[in-house]
Amino acid sequence: MMIVLCSHLLLATPNVPSVTESAQWSDAMVLGGATAAYFTVHAQKDTFLNWEWSNTTTNLSFKQDTVPTRTFYVWSAALALAAGLESGSKEAIAVLQSFSVTGLATELLKYSFARPRPDFEDRMRIATDTNNEKLIRDAKLSLPSGHSSSAFGLALHTSLWLHRTACRRGWGQAVVVTGYMLPLALATGIGITRVSDHRHNTSDVIAGAAVGLGVSYGINRWQFGPMSTCTQP
């Protein structure tokens, strides 16, 4: 939905020149380092710490994900492509930086807090019956929600990129407001499914949203400066 909206808006004013500012080697290094670190942490079988979570819910039933993880890989790839074609390689790599750094921060926190998921008991029963090591590894990775951090991080990055594009192309305030409301509403909906799917507690979703929003804002501020005016490149 967001890609269709972006494409429609961009095609509506085709004569506006694209930004051609190129990414630097330092940008590629940040992206590569964050990506490598993410997969290194994600491959761990055991959590870093083993906190006692005696008051957390663990007896809910195991369900399949309403929103699969691949959704965020598709979203980030499509956004990076759209941003790159419209605004140059610096915009494209900034999308991937937001996505990868958000993922790394989330994994580090998950493995540190080691909070059991709300479906922990049922998950472990299924894992024992099926010898599914992935279910066992993920059983204590509830805090924060990775789906929520990715969704809110990508949503905010989508919104900020659309804001920069709107400034350059002279789009009205209604487009800017819509560009913030729709992605963030989509991210909120994804966060709700994580609770209804028994994957996370509400506090996990809120924590994930905070991680995603914080990292995405930080990457955008670092790369493009504040959005208080329409003076971005």
Q: Transcribe 32-62 into DSSP letters.
A: HHHHHHHHHHHT-SS-S-----TTS---SPP
Q: Is residue 62 over pLDDT 90?
A: yes
In a domain, 118, yes or no: yes
As a whole number of angstroms, the distance between CA 6 and CA 164 comes to 12
Confidence of residue 230 (pLDDT cuts 50, 70, 90): low
Smallest CA-to-CA distance from 109 within 120, 118, 119, 101 is with 101
pLDDT-derived band at 9, boundaries 50, 70, 90: very low
Provide the pLDDT for residue 169: 87
Give the count of domains, the chain. Answer: 1
Mean pLDDT of the chain, nearest integer: 90
Stretch 125-147: mean pLDDT, rounded?
94
Within a domain: 66: yes
> 106 with 211: CB under 8 angstroms?
yes
Q: Which of 50-54, 55-59, 122-126, 214-218 has the lowest mean pLDDT?
A: 50-54
- Domain of residue 87 covers 57-224
In a domain, 40, yes or no: no
Region 203-220: what's the mean pLDDT? Answer: 98
Residue 16 placed within a domain: no
Q: What is the pLDDT of residue 228?
A: 64
pLDDT band at 168 (very low <50, low <70, confident <90, very high): confident
User: Is residue 151 in some structural domain?
Assistant: yes
Is the pLDDT score of 139 beyond 70? Answer: yes
Q: Is the pLDDT of residue 147 over 50?
A: yes
Average pLDDT over residues 64-79: 97
More confident residue, 172 or 198: 198
13-55 pLDDT, tens per residue? 444 444 557 888 899 999 999 999 999 999 998 999 988 898 9
pTM for the whole structure = 0.90
* Residue 18 pLDDT: 46
- pLDDT at position 20 is 53
Share of the chain above pLDDT 70, in %: 89
Give 124-157 as a DSSP string.
Answer: HHHHHHHT-HHHHHHTT--SS-HHHHHHHHHHHH
